[in-house]
């Protein structure tokens, strides 16, 4: 709509994310699997693999709004698609794969989806896949069985040695041991986006030549001032500040008639 009015756009590359999440057709929004990745400490084995059936990151690395520190610079988390979180029966039986408590986030609070305490409902719905062997699970997921078996064997060897020689993971160094094995397909999800119509210091939305579009204002994350990285909670202050600026200038506009 802003573009139809002649607005310029900016900061379209800036977003809060990505995070690893489960998306299913039955629910409009995603189930964030981030708590399992770096907050929860469950017994049992867990890894995440990409379309080549290989691990691609430290699954327990605590990201900052989906960004990771790489040699001093913050870059988006690697999310090759499709991604699969693989767990053994020990982990599956230890509790819900999705964090139920504290009850927060859009999916449980607004969508009102209550994840089962033992993952049985999600398994029955097909959201979670199960197989008796790693090879059979790979076939179910469309991955190369030999490649996934090699990845699991390599991970188990790391756990036995006490050192993740590939990505330096230090948390939940437990092998994928007890069958059956389970998988959840993950996809990138975002908290919010920063791009949108460009605004000036008066909160006026401007055209590509920087001239303001009459009586059109914005505040907050719709065309945020943040150009590169999402500033944690920064949109709240930005919304209040530019909302006040926009209100003052809009109130000072000459009446329509």
User: Is residue 4 one of the residues assigned to a domain?
Assistant: no
Do 81 and 134 fall within a single domain? yes
CB 25, CB 64: distance < 8 Å: no
99 & 25 share domain: yes
Report how far residue 213's alpha carbon sits from residue 242's, in angstroms, rounded to the nearest whole number: 16
146 and 160 in contact (C-beta within 8 Å)? no
If asked whether residues 171 and 205 sit together in one domain, one would say no
Residue 116 sits in the same domain as residue 202: no
In the numeric block, the tokens 């076939």 are attached to 139
179 and 196 part of one domain: no
Residues, the chain, total? Answer: 257
Considering only CA atoms, which of 152, 166, 128, 153 is closest in space to residue 47? 152
Domain contains 1? no
184 and 198, same domain (yes or no): no
Structurally, how many domains does the chain consist of?
2
Distance between CA 182 and CA 243 in Å, rounded?
48
Asked if residue 88 and residue 51 are part of one domain, the reply reads yes
Q: What is the dihedral of CA 94, 39, 109, 16, to 10 degrees?
A: -140
Which residues neighbour 28 within 8 Å (Cβ) at sequence distance 6 or greater? 111
Beta strands in 109-177 (DSSP E): 128-131
Phi, psi values for residue 148, rounded to 5°: -70, -40
Residues 33, 121, single domain; the answer is yes
Strands 15-16 and 192-193: antiparallel
* Residue among 46, 56, 51 at smallest CA distance from 166: 56
Mean pLDDT of each 10-residue bin along the chain, 257 residues long: 97 85 83 66 93 94 79 84 96 86 66 88 96 98 99 98 96 96 92 92 98 96 86 85 97 89
Quick one: 138 and 216 in the same domain? Answer: no
155 and 176 Cβ atoms separated by less than 8 Å: yes
Report in angstroms the alpha-carbon separations of 228 from 12, 70, 73, 120, 231: 9, 16, 12, 42, 9
Which of 177, 4, 6, 152 lies closest to 90, judged by CA? 177
Half-sphere exposure of 201 (CA within 13 A, CB side): 0
Residue span of the structural domain in which 235 resides: 9-14+192-251
What's residue 188's pLDDT?
87
Angle between helices 134-141 and 145-161 (to 10 degrees): 130
69 and 183 both lie in a single domain? yes
């Amino acid at each position: 709509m802003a573009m139809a009015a002649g607005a310029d756009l900016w900061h379209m590359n800036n977003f809060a994310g990505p995070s690893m999440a489960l998306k299913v057709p039955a629910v409009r929004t995603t189930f964030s699997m981030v708590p399992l990745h770096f907050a929860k400490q469950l017994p049992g084995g867990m890894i995440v693999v990409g379309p080549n059936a290989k691990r691609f990151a430290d699954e327990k690395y605590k990201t900052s709004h989906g960004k990771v520190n790489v040699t001093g610079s913050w870059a988006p988390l690697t999310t090759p698609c499709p991604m699969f979180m693989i767990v053994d029966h020990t982990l599956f039986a230890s509790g819900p794969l999705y964090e139920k408590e504290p009850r927060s986030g859009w999916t449980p609070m607004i969508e009102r989806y209550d994840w089962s305490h033992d993952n049985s409902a999600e398994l029955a719905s097909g959201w979670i896949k199960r197989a008796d062997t790693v090879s059979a699970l790979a076939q179910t997921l469309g991955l190369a069985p030999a490649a996934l078996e090699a990845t699991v064997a390599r991970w188990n060897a790391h756990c036995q040695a006490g050192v993740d020689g590939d990505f330096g993971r230090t948390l939940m160094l437990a092998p994928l041991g007890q069958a059956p094995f389970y998988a959840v397909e993950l996809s990138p999800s975002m908290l919010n986006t920063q791009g949108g119509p460009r605004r000036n210091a008066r909160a006026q939305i401007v055209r590509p030549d920087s001239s303001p579009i009459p009586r059109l204002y914005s505040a907050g994350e719709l065309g945020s001032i943040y150009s590169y990285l999402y500033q944690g909670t920064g949109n709240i202050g930005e919304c209040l500040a530019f909302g006040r600026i926009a209100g003052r200038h809009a109130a000072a506009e000459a009446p329509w008639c």
